[in-house]
Amino acid sequence: MSVFSVLAAAIAPGVALLAYFYLKDRYDTEPIHLVMKVFLFGVLLVFPVMVLQRAFVHALGENPFVFSFVISAGIEEFLKWFLVYFIIYKHTSFDEPYDGIVYAVAASLGFATLENVFYALLNSSSISTLLFRALLPVSGHAMFGVIMGYHLGKAKFITHRSTRHLAFSLLLPIFWHGVFDYVLATTKTYWIWFMIPLMVFLWIRSLRKVERANETSPLRVVQTEEQVKI
């Protein structure tokens, strides 16, 4: 495979998933330049994550549980959450619950895309290997982003439960990401029998959150009233 083909195959899944979740916004699509900005910041997160993870491995070792839930999931999801919270959470464009999903998925897929590119270039990956990674690691990052963004949207628009949902927006992605990594780290032979049900569950759960976030949009009420008037 040529370098161009490898790069295209490595980048395509993240871009396709981002487009999918971006277009699932029913009422008011986000400014594309802002979504791409968050995506690119997600790309840049790969570098501090690599440095921090290396330092934590030296400090804590490579116990599968610690590595999965703290070094991998903990660091990656915290930095993605930090990025979305401090750049987007109070931004005027974040004006409905589903927007949290769009921006959290953008940050997650930016990170996953560069991670996928590095993996493809360093391991001389075939198309079949990159397809496998599209269905698991890249797709997994998108699912963790949906969970994070859903609860960020809840935190912003259900103010009496904001602290609870802010905590969920960080802790739940760390938990599910940790479970994902722990399964891969500890089930070398039969991992597929655990991973397929896990991914099906995460996809179903995420698509339900997408529907709920859209259904609770304040813009839905505005559009319905406008249609009635017409």
Contact 180, 140 (CB under 8 A): yes
Amino acid identity for residue 58 in this structure: H
> pLDDT digit string (tens) for 6-22?
788 888 899 999 999 99
From first to last of its 230 residues, the chain has per-residue pLDDT tens of 577 777 888 888 999 999 999 999 988 889 999 999 999 999 999 999 999 999 999 999 989 999 999 999 999 999 999 999 999 998 999 989 999 999 999 999 999 999 988 888 887 666 666 667 667 889 999 999 999 999 999 999 988 889 999 999 999 999 999 999 999 999 878 888 899 999 999 999 999 999 999 988 887 655 544 443 44
Is the four-CA dihedral 3, 48, 17, 27 of positive or negative sign? negative
Sheet strands (E) in the chain: none
Burial 54-91 (b: 16+ CB within 10 A, else e): eebeeeeeeeeebbbbbbbbbbbbebbbebbbebbbee
Using the 8-state DSSP alphabet, how is residue 188 labeled?
T
| Distance of alpha carbon 146 from alpha carbon 195, whole angstroms | 19
> pLDDT digit string (tens) for 162-186?
999 999 999 999 999 999 999 999 9
Burial 117-148 (b: 16+ CB within 10 A, else e): beebeeeebeeeebeebbebbbbbbbbbbbbb
| Distance of alpha carbon 36 from alpha carbon 42, whole angstroms | 10
